[in-house]
Amino acid sequence: MSANCGEQGVRLTGYTTKGEIVDSEAESVREIFARFAAGDSLRGLAQYLHEAEVPTRHGGQWSPKSVRNILTNPRYAGRAIYQGKTTGKNGIWQALVDPTEFDLVQAKLSDPRRRSQQGTDRKRVGSGLYLCGVCGARVRSFSGGRYRCPHAHLNRTQEPVDAFVRAVMRARLGRPDLAGLLAEVEDPEVKKLAGEVNRLRRRLIKIDDDYDADLIDGRRFQTATEKARAALATAEAALGRSNANAGIKVMLGSHDPVAAFDGAPLMLQRSAIDALMIVKLLPAPRGRKSFDPESVKIIWKTYS
């Protein structure tokens, strides 16, 4: 491995060929990691970078694939790579993202729920997020701008419900006690789980090395590998679940949380809403044409 963070002379976005940081590119890389960890999607990030006129290293167009290539590159966490695999050691260049954040992103990318869905972008704020106030099932978005309970308990017009939820969210983000909330939503388990994920990945590398060095036979290699991979999958899933509050952290870290919420893409807004509240929809009152705020029940989450 050469002294820089590239491989075979290829310059990595955010660095020069000598491993020195390119500030403008490095800031874009950090933002890509932060926004994905907070709930944005590969497609949403590619669109955001294009609209913000952020140049790629080669001057081409951003795509979900190019965004994913950045998110999956261990060099950004300061980890050395040899022949396409991490060595389990740190490189001599400065990392652009915290290793914990990098491991969190890998957990989210490897989440089987992402592969079982047709894309991860949602079209409406509450689809799969709001709950039916009758049975507790997650409501779905249907044609005609409606939210429906999968068990037919309610059929609600989306626009006034979403406008009300966003207004309540803005009011909460504008309160003076918001500063103390960031510390409350920090999950001490995140770093612990990220460390376990990293340890298991190093374990898999060592198993491969031991097999290549004829220190273990094929049967022991297979058994050890299967055991480590199963433990890694469990740890990655737990890490992904433990950082559900990443979206609200993006808002809380801004000098103007309300403006940050309004300017955030839909997936980040959903993540922030999910971190602070549970939204339950009740059936619309019969005979009433105007929106009734009492038909939307908001329960604030606590972190004490």
User: Residue 234: CB partners within 8 Å, gap ≥ 6?
Assistant: none
- Name the residue among 93, 101, 79, 97 with its Cα closest to residue 202: 79
Q: pLDDT value at position 113? A: 54
The residue among 270, 235, 203, 283 whose CA lies nearest residue 104 is: 235
């009740």: which residue's tokens?
282
Phi, psi of 278 (to 5 degrees): -110, 125
Convert the pLDDT of each residue in 224-276 to its tens digit: 999 998 888 888 777 766 655 666 766 776 788 899 888 887 888 888 898 88
What is the tens place of the pLDDT at every residue in 198-214? Answer: 788 788 888 988 988 89
Q: What whole-number distance in Å separates Cα of residue 246 and Cα of residue 185?
A: 9
Q: Please tell me the predicted confidence (pLDDT) of residue 81.
A: 83
Distance CA 235, CA 233 (A): 6
At 159, the amino acid letter reads: E
Report pTM.
0.59
CA-nearest of 28, 29, 27, 10 to 19 is 10
The amino acid at residue 40 is D
Q: What is the pLDDT of residues 66-110, one digit of tens each?
A: 999 999 999 999 988 877 777 777 888 999 998 888 888 887 787
**CATH architecture designation of domain 23-116:** Alpha-Beta Complex (3.90)
